Amino acid sequence: MFNVSLVQRLQEELKANPGSLPFDEILYCNIGNPQSLGQLPITFFREVLALCDHPTILDKAETQGLFSADSIERAWQILDQIPGRATGAYSHSQGIKGLRDTIAAGIEARDGFPANPNDIFLTDGASPAVHMMMQLLISSEKDGILCPIPQYPLYSASIALHGGSLIPYYLDEETGWGLEVSELKKQLEEARSKGISVRALVVINPGNPTGQVLAEENQRDIVEFCKKEGLVLLADEVYQENIYVPEKKFHSFKKVARSMGYGDNDLCLVSFQSVSKGYHGECGKRGGYMEITGFSPEVREQIYKVASVNLCSNISGQILASLVMSPPKVGDESYESYSAEKDGILESLARRAKTLEDAFNSLEGITCNKAEGAMYLFPRIRLPEKAIKAAEAAKTAPDLFYCRHLLNATGVVVVPGSGFGQVPGTWHFRCTILPQEDKIPAIVSRLTDFHKSFMDEYRD
């Protein structure tokens, strides 16, 4: 919600008076929206979606020439899982059973532990699933949800909308945004002493905006903590395919819990996944799911009921979720091109993450933790006193002040840290790693020039 109107005004001015501003295009580094910045969709996925949208063409000769054989085969397989092959009908409120079977199999292949299709609720993106859980767990502002600071503001927004209390726990910037159980305990105790019933712990792994990937040992401590304290573990795992460093790996919290010997009787756990991120970046398709385990049958019934009020999520998104969790395999006709597309995107993301991280770290007064995963950098900027005073005079938060100046000088749109939360007195901004590689040098040089002149102006 930052400065939408300012950006729009600049965009309109660029259109109306080209050359009137010190840059020739707005570069949107504010939102995890890969395809808006030139990332292409995965061909195989789009082939299957198109065929499922217009199954009439499946039989035609021309189709063989236009679509890969395995996309046609996959489309038939999916259509056979849809009652009456009616892709325009409301499905089961948890999503088409056959697609849930596929997703469950995909989860099992990923984790090495079984998944039950009846634990899966397909939703229009991960966000509606998060809302459902907040609605379920929050009765009043006496119900608290532990959230990381910094966090993706869907959590703060949905907690506010549902009338609960956000209980912040601070990630440690000094240790690469480390999540300490001692911090969780401290915040939990403080909340309880104020009469708050803390219901759940939100963990975003890989992190947004912070980009860290949790170590497995850390995850075990978190699972133990939730079990002991009777908290629902809400695991936002939408960036599970965005890992850029060889020393880290994604482990789902379910896998971690199961490998500790914890089952459905030990822990309430919800995992959120989305088709918007990863290497597929299909934000506009609105596909995703939550896998819910450990809840009682009565509570499961209530969750089903809430899902049924909106009938079902969009079928294309459901199909896409099943494709993401069960993509082409070795030997499939599309495997090589799929692989090449996927690897190309992920390798490029890793390169851009490093380039931008280095660029930020080279700027005076800015430190930037590595983006081990996800799609963002969250550099910290130590603003000189003069700048802070100028911001106060302009009745603006210092980070917003900096970001506005940055935008006006370079056309680069980033989001001030206060949108995500930060330790009071520190300033950050979130910048995505998503602009195409050929634009990155220009961004880096514009940024560097701007920052130098900003510091020249405000240096103490």
Residues 200-229 that bind its own copies (CB under 8 A): 227-229
Q: Which of 18, 84, 331, 425 binds its own copies (CB under 8 A)?
A: 84
Token look-up 């080209």 returns 18
Binding of its own copies at residue 195 (CB under 8 A)? Answer: yes
Rounded Cα distance, 398 and 23, in Å: 23
Out of 72, 122, 196, 223, point to the residue binding its own copies (CB under 8 A): 196
Q: Does 231 bind its own copies (CB under 8 A)?
A: yes
C-beta separation of 69 from 48 below 8 A: no
Residue 160 near its own copies by CB under 8 A: yes
Cβ 313 to its own copies shortest distance, Å: 7
Told to check if 36 binds its own copies by CB under 8 A, we report yes
CA gyration radius, the chain = 23
Cα separation, 356 vs 362, whole angstroms: 10
Peptide bond into 206 cis (omega under 30): yes
3-state secondary structure of 291: strand
Among 120, 268, 363, 400, binds its own copies (CB under 8 A): 268
Taking CB under 8 A as the binding criterion, the range among 153-161, 201-209, 404-412, 450-458 that sits at the site for its own copies is: 153-161
Q: Is 158 in the site for its own copies (CB under 8 A)?
A: yes
Q: List the structure tokens of 9.
A: 């005004």
H/E stretch holding 129 reads: helix 126-137
Shortest approach of its own copies to residue 43 CB, angstroms?
7
Note whether 361 binds its own copies by CB under 8 A: no
Q: Check whether the bond before 114 is cis (ω within 30° of 0).
A: no
Neighbours of 163 (CB within 10 A): 14
Shortest separation between residue 230's beta carbon and its own copies, angstroms: 3
Q: Where are the alpha helices (DSSP H) in 194-243?
A: 216-229
Q: Are 215 and 248 in contact (CB under 8 A)?
A: yes
Our finding on whether 16 is near its own copies (CB under 8 A) is no
CB of 167 to its own copies, least distance (A): 13
Among 12, 13, 60, 336, the residue binding its own copies under the rule CB under 8 A is 60
> Which residue's CB is nearer to its own copies, number 267 or number 407?
267
Run of H or E including 345? helix 335-361
| Binding test (CB under 8 A) with its own copies, winner from 98, 176, 178, 284 | 284
| Residue 97 region by backbone torsions, left for phi larger than 0, else alpha for psi between -120 and 50, else beta | alpha
Contact stretch for its own copies (CB under 8 A) within 14-22, 81-89, 204-212, 329-337: 81-89
Q: How far is the CB of 431 from its own copies (least distance, A)?
A: 17
Q: Give, as ranges, the residues between 418 and 437 that touch its own copies (CB under 8 A).
A: none
**Applying CB under 8 A, which of residues 255, 258, 277, 286 lies at the interface with its own copies?**
286
348: left (phi over 0), alpha (psi -120 to 50) or beta: alpha
Longest dimension (CA), the chain: 73
Which of 147, 166, 179, 198 is the binder for its own copies (CB under 8 A)? Answer: 198
184 binds its own copies (CB under 8 A): no
Cβ at position 53, least distance to its own copies in Å: 4
CA distances, 279 to each of 84, 204, 373, 381, 454 (Å)? 32, 18, 12, 30, 36
For residue 215, the minimal CB distance to its own copies (Å) is: 25
Of the pair 315, 406, the CB lying nearest its own copies is at 315
Rounded CA separation 135/63 (Å): 45
Interface residue with its own copies, options 43, 259, 337, 361 (CB under 8 A): 43
Residue 368 near residue 428 (C-beta atoms within 8 A): no
Binders of its own copies among residues 294 to 323 (CB under 8 A) are 294-296, 298-299, 302, 305-306, 308-317
- In single-letter form, the type of residue at position 372 comes to E
Q: Between 96 and 135, how does the x/- string for binding to its own copies read (CB under 8 A)?
A: ----------------------------xx-xx--x---x
Please state the closest distance from residue 282 (CB atom) to its own copies, in A.
5
Task: Please identify, using beta-carbon distances, which residue of 95 and 417 lies nearer to its own copies.
Answer: 95
Contacts of 293 (CB under 8 A, 6+ apart): 116, 119, 254, 264, 267, 268, 269, 270
Nearer to its own copies, 85 or 354 (CB): 85
Rounded CA separation 372/248 (Å): 8
